[in-house]
Chain A
């Protein structure tokens, strides 16, 4: 999913909204699992993007946006945890709609919904690592830098995250 802008160009805020809008929205939706929260997250991300453009160093635009989106998501998760009402939740045992096994899912027309529900059932830290790896396309080092954790922790979160996904899908 990587698609970076030319290395010597600093995009404008509007260019990012226009040209990276779908990418941003996809990452936000995969992280939050619903459109309402995804819209709120993208709005917050664009506020941060505007603030951060002055210090943006041309390079991997998707990497930069992926980091901002994930950090904004995790900040919101932490905020919600401080409040009792938490529609996002972080319970790995959350009840998700009955889903067929992984192989059946692969052949099913309803795959994205089942998979999105399974993704949403992951604890946020695992979900962020899996989304950064498999949706944004980050390497483990970049994920570690984004989440401010050691590479070994990233390995572990991706391993456990995918393992939980398999359990939910089976």
Chain B
């Protein structure tokens, strides 16, 4: 190999940096001279550029359903989590090991949710107390919307932070459906009389409609309520839906990721910290 060949080999190693505009003026000039002289250098540059463009063109990746919502809610419940005392952490770990999973039992306020659905479905701009709209445009934070953009043919229309969780309104033509999400497992015994237990896939669920409530109307726009227990996330679907349609929509709802050990420890820390009276 001649000195000139060795120099050219070294310049081949600079082709990536040349494309990235990361060379000094002297280096750039040398690389450009190489490109003028050698067709294999030009082919190499083109090949590097193709791979570089492929990686740069990779799409953004959506986090799983409800992922950030769970993290943020977890954080709100444990404002001092990161600086939790050793005692609280130790107690939390004992809890994790002894009483897993540590999650709240919740009963969605069915009648109240139906009323909130009616208010939002009317699209008057009025919001239930304690509601905050969540950004929906691409430039802001659709990644925080806990529900998918479309589900069962319905398109996500609006999302709100509600006192208990997240309230997402979907639309299909003039039809509106609300999906509420809150952390925890369903306390089935606290749900109103008149509903019936069922399963959706392998998950437990509960449904109540005008027909099955012996004339107990929910609201004008909410003729059925379906509650799903999805591995630590309670999903309540409210809308003017016939029972089979409500079931189809429930089946189409994606599963949230199961809580990880970190999340469970975080929840337990919050629980223990609250018990110790930490803020």
The digit string for B28-65, where 1 denotes a CB below 8 A from any CB of A, is: 00000000000000000001101110111011111110
Q: Restricting to A23-62, which residues have a CB under 8 Å from any CB of B?
A: 23, 25-26, 29-30, 35, 38-40, 42-44, 46-47, 50-51
Q: Verify if A140 is at the interface (C-beta below 8 Å from B).
A: yes
The docked-state distance in angstroms from the alpha carbon of A143 to that of B116 is 49
Given A30-B58, A30-B61, check contact A140 B20 (CB 8 Å).
yes
Contacts of B61 in A (CB 8 A): 22, 25-26, 29-30, 38
The reply to whether A155 and B71 form a contact with Cβ atoms under 8 Å apart is no
The docked-state distance in angstroms from the alpha carbon of A21 to that of B263 is 17
How far in angstroms is the closest Cβ of chain B from A115?
Answer: 6
Q: Verify if B257 is at the interface (C-beta below 8 Å from A).
A: yes
Contacts of B262 in A (CB 8 A): 40, 43-44
Contacts of B2 in A (CB 8 A): none
The reply to whether A21 and B54 form a contact with Cβ atoms under 8 Å apart is no
Q: Verify if A147 is at the interface (C-beta below 8 Å from B).
A: no
The reply to whether B52 and A162 form a contact with Cβ atoms under 8 Å apart is yes
Q: Verify if B140 is at the interface (C-beta below 8 Å from A).
A: yes
- Name the contact of A102 in the complex, choosing from B51, B58, B76 (C-beta under 8 A): B51
The digit string for B1-38, where 1 denotes a CB below 8 A from any CB of A, is: 00000000000011111001010000000000000000
The docked-state distance in angstroms from the alpha carbon of A106 to that of B57 is 10
The reply to whether A134 and B68 form a contact with Cβ atoms under 8 Å apart is no
- Give how many A residues have a beta carbon under 8 Å from the other chain's beta carbons: 47
The reply to whether A25 and B141 form a contact with Cβ atoms under 8 Å apart is no
- Name the contact of B71 in the complex, choosing from A17, A29, A135 (C-beta under 8 A): A17
The reply to whether A162 and B16 form a contact with Cβ atoms under 8 Å apart is yes
Q: Verify if B189 is at the interface (C-beta below 8 Å from A).
A: no
The reply to whether B55 and A130 form a contact with Cβ atoms under 8 Å apart is yes
The reply to whether A105 and B68 form a contact with Cβ atoms under 8 Å apart is no
The reply to whether A158 and B54 form a contact with Cβ atoms under 8 Å apart is no
- Give how many B residues have a beta carbon under 8 Å from the other chain's beta carbons: 40
Q: Verify if B122 is at the interface (C-beta below 8 Å from A).
A: no
The docked-state distance in angstroms from the alpha carbon of A9 to that of B72 is 20
Q: Verify if A81 is at the interface (C-beta below 8 Å from B).
A: no
Given A42-B63, A102-B51, check contact A158 B58 (CB 8 Å).
no
- Name the contact of A18 in the complex, choosing from B17, B59, B144, B263 (C-beta under 8 A): B144
Q: Verify if A71 is at the interface (C-beta below 8 Å from B).
A: no
Nearest to A114 among chain B residues (CB) is B54
How far in angstroms is the closest Cβ of chain A from B26?
Answer: 15
A interface residues, Cβ below 8 angstroms from B: 1, 13-14, 17-19, 21-23, 25-26, 29-30, 35, 38-40, 42-44, 46-47, 50-51, 102-103, 105-106, 111-112, 115-116, 119, 130, 133-135, 139-140, 155-156, 158-159, 162, 165-166, 169
What are the nearest 10 A-B pairs in CB distance? A22-B143, A21-B143, A134-B55, A25-B63, A29-B61, A18-B144, A159-B16, A26-B61, A18-B141, A140-B22
